[in-house]
Structure formats: C-alpha cells, structure tokens
Amino acid sequence: MSGAQQETVQPQARKHWLERKLPVLSWLSSYQKSSLRPDLLAGATVWAVVIPEAIAYAQLAGVPAQMGLFAAPFLMLGYVLFGTSRQLMVGATSASAIMLATTAGNVVQGSSANYPAVVTGITLLVGLLLLLLGLAHLGFVKNFLAEPILTGFIFGLALVIGIGQVPKILGLPRVEGDFFAKVWQVISHLGDTNGWTLLLGALSLALLFLLDHFWPRIPASLVVVVGGILAVSLFHLEQVGVAIVGAIPAGLPLPTFPMLPLQTWLTALPDSFGIALVIYAEHISAAQQFATRYHYDLDADQELIALGISNLGAGLFRGFLGGGSLSRSMVNDAAGGRTQVVSLVASFLVIVTLLVLTPLFHNLPDAVLGAIILHAIWGLLRVKELRRYARLRSLDLVLALVALFGVLIFDILPGLLLAVVLSLAILIYRASRPDGSVLGRVPGTEAYRDVARHPENETVPGLLIFRLDAPLFFANSALMRKRVKALVRSTSPRVHAVILDLEASNDLDTSSVDMLMELADDLKAEEIEILLANVRGPVHDMLRRSQAIQRIGEMQLFPSIGEAVAAFQHHAHEKSE
C-alpha cells in the first residue's frame, strides 16, 4: 500500500472507531432536515409521557417526586450520546423503580443511612456495573436469563407493583409485607375506601386504556394528569381525603456524590448486580424490537456502555436508575420519531419543567399516579406468552411459573436470585446432556444425517458414525464416551471402526482431550479403530499439543465424514484381500 493510501485509510479507520464508541457522531452527521419536524413533535409527545411517569415512578421508588424529574434528562442524554437504537427511549421504568426500592429498603434497614442517598448510590453502582460489563464485551450476559424465566419474573414483578398501587386507587393506607400479605391487607380494609379517590382513580385508569386503544397518538398520561389536577383544584378534593403530591421544588440539581459508608456499598453490591442484569435484559429486548422492525443492527456491548453512562449521569445528579422503556419508545414511534433528536427535545422540555413548571403539579392526585403505573405494567402481564409456552413446551411454562411464584412467595430480589440460579442450572444441564446422533449417508448425496429421524439414510456395515450435537467440553465428555461405548455394544453387525464427527467443536479442553485418548484406548483394546472427522484447526492444534495424536494416530484425522468413510472402506478392502 502506498503512503498516500495509508494516509487516507488511517483517518477513515479512526473515524469509524470513534463513531462506534460515540454513535451520536454517526447519525448526527447524516441527519436529514426532513426528520426535524416529526422529531420535534415526537419529542413533545414523549415529554408529555415522561413527566407524569417520572413522578409516578419516583413514588414507586419511595423518593421525592423531583428525583424522578432529575433522572429523566440525564438518562436520555447519556443514551443519545452512546446508544445505538434510533427509537429507544431511556428512562425510569416500573421494574427498575420497584427493584430499587426493595434493595434500598434492605440496605437502609437497621442503619442510619439516608434513604435518598442510598437510592442514588445504588443507581451509581448499577451504572458502574453496566459500564464495566460493556467494556468487558459481556453483552451476551442477557443470555444467562432464559426467556421463559425472565417472562415469569417480570410477570411476578408486575403483580407486586400492581398490588402496591391498589391502595392509591382506593384511598387506603400503604400496605406492607410480601405480595400475599398486601393482598390480605387490601381486602381487609376495603370498608375504608375513599369514594372520591376511587372515582378519580377508576376514571383515570379507564381513560388511559381507552385513549391507548382508540387514540394512541394522544399522550394519555398527560391527559389524566391534567384532568386530575383540575378535578382537585376545582372541587377541593384534598379536603375530602384525596391524597395529592404536594409541593415539588423547582430548579436543577447540582452534581453530588453520596457519601455512604463502605459497608453500605458492599451490602448493596450483590442486589445491584441482579438489578443491572434485569434492566439490561429489558432494555436490549425493547431495543431489539425496533432494530428488527427498521432493519438495522444493535451493538450489545455498546448498549451496556450507554446504559451504564446514562445511569451514572442520573445518579450523579440526584436521580435514580432506569433503562429502555418499551411503552415510551412505542409512543415515540407512533408519534413519528425518527432519531434520538426526540430524546434531546424531551430532555430540554423536562429541564424547562424543572425550572418553571413544577408548581403546576402540586394538586396532582396520588390516585392518578397509581392509575398511570397500573396502566404501564399491564403490558408486563404476558398471559399470551405463558399460553404459548404451554402449547410449545411445557417445561418452559414450568420455568416461567417457578420464577413468577418465586417473586410472589420469596419477594423480588430472592425471586430474582432464584430466576438466575434456575437459568444457570438449565444452561449447565443442557450443556452437559446434549443430544447425539448416529449418522448415515443421504442417498444420492455426500451429506450425512441422523439415521433415527431418516431411516432411509445409508449406513456402512461395521462402521458407526456418531455426532455429539454440541461442542465437546468437560461437562459432556464423559457422557459422549459412555454413549459411544453403549452404541458399540448394541450395534449389529459388529463394529470395526467408529467415526466421531467433531463438527460442533471449534476447540477442545483438557478433559475432552483426555476422554478422546481414553476412548481410543478402550476401542483399540476391542480391536476397533477410531477416526475423527470435521477436525478444525484449533482442535487439531490441541490434539497435537496434548500428544493425543500419538494415541489416536495422525492418519486417523479427517476434514470431512466422507473422507473418513472412504479411508475406512479402503482399509477394509485391503484387509479382505
């Protein structure tokens, strides 16, 4: 390559690297003027949803309303700079708020720590964990939560959130304890229901669902907020027992780091990791829906980094954590939003709200906020998905129900731990007990397929071809040896050679290499040849380094099953002569 070409390539490579690390540079440089008007309108629409939800989720997290408003712009701005989704709206969610409240409550219990400071501390901790996971290229970590288990966990989480909002709709005192204790407290205090609160909450809930169904472009949350504030102001409903938000201080927050004892950070760390995992799983699932719909790619590692930086920003400015919101993103998409300029517009309007509009929310009824949360979690009750599991695979339904009832019986964070452990147990079980197939040649071709599924496939007398339908490693190597020996004993006519198809293995560990050498010795003792087919480069290198080739034989390694079969037949023909 000439010097002139190198001078051209280096700036291009540098530009490409910078755009990958700071995705805003990529889409902003090619921003179309035609997108500005729809993005401005969508930004205003998203703002109309963000404000009431930020206040509602602040209540759910157990912190002052202004903390929800503090968090909103920084969560969005961090994602604008570093995120890779064009439509995703990042902010507080019902799941993140309730998990945060549970963790902060456990940390504060029995200590003198300040609750809001602990909330921002946990937000910073979760943000740091997400950032580190992204920098370590662990975007695949979401895969450790099996989809049915995540569905069940979120379903149970939604039920816990929902029962906590029912007292707001009924005008009852706050309920405490686990899910079933809360249900009993609500039932036993139904006689104390405040009629005005119930009317306001029920009308708000009905209006939210009606607008969402028939006029989805209308910001339903803002409509019920304005309606609730007007009702309280005109009819003085606070005087008849309707609870209201009260004063929300105006002004922007200054960056503050919560000075918490080391023990507080250590206590919060395990649960914070669980929260990070669930937030990321929710976030990437929502982002992937839009990436699939609009045919572009996501960078999973960059999404972790964006989510981490967003939460670090929210925590430093006295807000609390959040992630990708599917419902808010759908509002953005329905309003015609095309790029992350929508988040910029919504962030600016939230800042304006903090500066001059907070007095307008003084008379906002708690019942309306409860209705907003109940409406938001409705989509998390994925009954159709549970039915789908029941139809396709009953084990997946069982796993979902175990996670669901784990949350209801043992509470949120123990339920989360149960879900993670269950996911890992399934992963280990499936990896350690993969399926295996005896192969035969598809008539008229050189392809080899499972004989059990296709009995018409041709087998060679005296030859057993076996494939483990998973990479060979320490957890399943003993199983493979056992299966091969059992097949050798049960196959008729007598087996003279075994071909092991290693197509699924791109590498071998020490345990699997040892197993192959032991199996080779076992078969040689019975005067049975062993041949390895589809041996990839790294596998061949490991066999050489371990000296397994000396035990198996260099000439017994083949790049394909067909060549291994041909070698067996040639050898058999030589012996017969």
Confidence of residue 365 (pLDDT cuts 50, 70, 90): very high
User: If you search the block for the tokens 């280096």, which residue do you land on?
Assistant: 10
In a domain, 16, yes or no: no
Q: Same domain for 375 and 468?
A: no
Q: Which of 427, 462, 492 is the last residue of a domain?
A: 427
Mean pLDDT confidence for 56-75: 94
Q: Same domain for 396 and 445?
A: no
Give residue 548's pLDDT.
85
Mean pLDDT confidence for 500-522: 93
In a domain, 215, yes or no: yes
User: If you search the block for the tokens 């102001």, which residue do you land on?
Assistant: 233
pLDDT digits (tens, 9 = 90+) for 225-277: 999 999 999 999 999 999 999 999 999 999 999 999 999 999 999 999 989 98
Q: Same domain for 423 and 503?
A: no
Return the amino acid letter for 292: T
Nearest to 123 by CA among 161, 68, 45: 68
Q: How far apart are CA 433 and CA 429, in angstroms?
A: 6
Q: How far apart are CA 212 and CA 240, in angstroms?
A: 30
Q: Same domain for 530 and 387?
A: no
pLDDT at 6 over 60: no
Burial class (CB in 10 A: 0-12, 13-18, 19+), 20: middle
- Structure token digits, residue 27: 């889409």
pLDDT at 570 over 70: yes
Give residue 484's pLDDT.
93
Chain Cα centroid distance, residue 384: 19
Q: Which of 370, 402, 427 is the last residue of a domain?
A: 427
pLDDT digits (tens, 9 = 90+) for 128-144: 999 999 999 988 877 77
pLDDT at 156 over 80: yes
Q: How far apart are CA 76 and CA 326, in angstroms?
A: 14
Is omega for the bond preceding 493 within 30 degrees of 0, making it cis? yes
3-state secondary structure of 90: strand
User: Would residue 508 be called left, alpha or beta, if left means φ above 0 and alpha means ψ between -120 and 50 degrees?
Assistant: beta
pLDDT digits (tens, 9 = 90+) for 293-310: 888 888 999 999 999 999
Confidence of residue 159 (pLDDT cuts 50, 70, 90): very high
3-state helix, strand, coil in the chain (%, to 5): 70, 5, 25
Mean pLDDT confidence for 495-510: 93
β-pairing, 497-501 with 463-468? parallel
pLDDT digits (tens, 9 = 90+) for 12-51: 777 777 877 888 888 888 888 888 999 999 999 999 989 9
pLDDT at 349 over 60: yes
- Structure token digits, residue 288: 């992937």
Share of residues in the chain with pLDDT > 90 (%): 65
Q: Which of 392, 427, 462 is the last residue of a domain?
A: 427
pLDDT digits (tens, 9 = 90+) for 311-338: 999 999 999 999 999 888 988 888 888 8
Give residue 109's pLDDT.
82
Give residue 100's pLDDT.
93
Share of residues in the chain with pLDDT > 70 (%): 97
Give residue 311's pLDDT.
97
Nearest to 84 by CA among 35, 29, 27, 160: 27
CB 308 within 8 A of CB 321: no
* Bridge partners, residue 37, by sequence: none
Q: Same domain for 371 and 249?
A: yes
Mean pLDDT confidence for 160-188: 92
Confidence of residue 415 (pLDDT cuts 50, 70, 90): confident
Give residue 289's pLDDT.
86
Give residue 303's pLDDT.
94
Task: Identify the H or E element spanning 323.
Answer: strand 323-325
Q: 180 is in which domain, residue-wise? A: 37-427
In a domain, 368, yes or no: yes
**Start-to-end Cα distance in the chain:** 60
pLDDT at 475 over 70: yes
Confidence of residue 576 (pLDDT cuts 50, 70, 90): low
pLDDT at 506 over 80: yes
- CATH code for the domain in which residue 448 is found: 3.30.750.24
Mean pLDDT confidence for 87-107: 91
In a domain, 18, yes or no: no
Give residue 3's pLDDT.
54
Give residue 363's pLDDT.
95
Q: How far apart are CA 324 and CA 79, in angstroms?
A: 9
Give residue 411's pLDDT.
83
Give residue 53's pLDDT.
92
Give residue 8's pLDDT.
52
Nearest to 558 by CA among 572, 546, 547, 543: 543
Confidence of residue 111 (pLDDT cuts 50, 70, 90): low
pLDDT at 2 over 80: no
In a domain, 3, yes or no: no
Q: Same domain for 454 and 548?
A: yes
pLDDT at 5 over 70: no
Count of domains in the chain?
2
pLDDT at 112 over 70: no
| Largest Cα–Cα separation, the chain | 107
Return the amino acid letter for 300: A
Mean pLDDT confidence for 360-364: 94
Give residue 110's pLDDT.
64
In a domain, 171, yes or no: yes
Give residue 149's pLDDT.
86
Q: How far apart are CA 220 and CA 155, in angstroms?
A: 24
User: Radius of gyration of the chain from Cα atoms?
Assistant: 30
In a domain, 416, yes or no: yes
pLDDT at 378 over 80: yes
Identify the residue with better confidence: 184 or 18: 184
β-pairing, 448-450 with 436-441? antiparallel
Give residue 193's pLDDT.
94
Poorest-pLDDT segment among 10-14, 24-28, 181-185, 441-445:
10-14
Q: How far apart are CA 429 and CA 449, in angstroms?
A: 25
Q: How far apart are CA 314 and CA 571, in angstroms?
A: 71
Q: How far apart are CA 45 and CA 475, in angstroms?
A: 53
Burial class (CB in 10 A: 0-12, 13-18, 19+), 325: buried
Q: Same domain for 527 and 418?
A: no
Give residue 253's pLDDT.
92
* Bridge partners, residue 531, by sequence: 499
Q: Same domain for 223 and 369?
A: yes
Give residue 577's pLDDT.
61
Mean pLDDT confidence for 523-551: 91
Q: Same domain for 537 and 444?
A: yes
Collect all residues with Cβ–Cβ distance below 8 Å to 383 and sequence separation of at least 6.
Answer: none
Q: Same domain for 410 and 444?
A: no
Q: Same domain for 413 and 441?
A: no
User: Would residue 401 be called left, alpha or beta, if left means φ above 0 and alpha means ψ between -120 and 50 degrees?
Assistant: alpha
CA-CA distances (angstroms) from residue 407 to 85, 179, 302, 400, 427? 31, 9, 30, 11, 21
CB 460 within 8 A of CB 496: no
Tell me the average pLDDT of the chain: 90
Which sign does the torsion angle of CA 70, 72, 77, 79 carry?
A: positive
Give residue 528's pLDDT.
92
Q: How far apart are CA 234 and CA 436, in angstroms?
A: 73
pLDDT at 427 over 80: no
Q: How far apart are CA 295 and CA 286, in angstroms?
A: 14
- Structure token digits, residue 465: 């071809």
3-state secondary structure of 402: helix
Collect all residues with Cβ–Cβ distance below 8 Å to 79 and sequence separation of at least 6.
Answer: 88, 90, 306, 307, 310, 340, 343
Collect all residues with Cβ–Cβ distance below 8 Å to 493 and sequence separation of at least 6.
Answer: 461, 462
Q: Same domain for 417 and 544?
A: no
Q: How far apart are CA 96 and CA 319, in angstroms?
A: 13
In a domain, 474, yes or no: yes
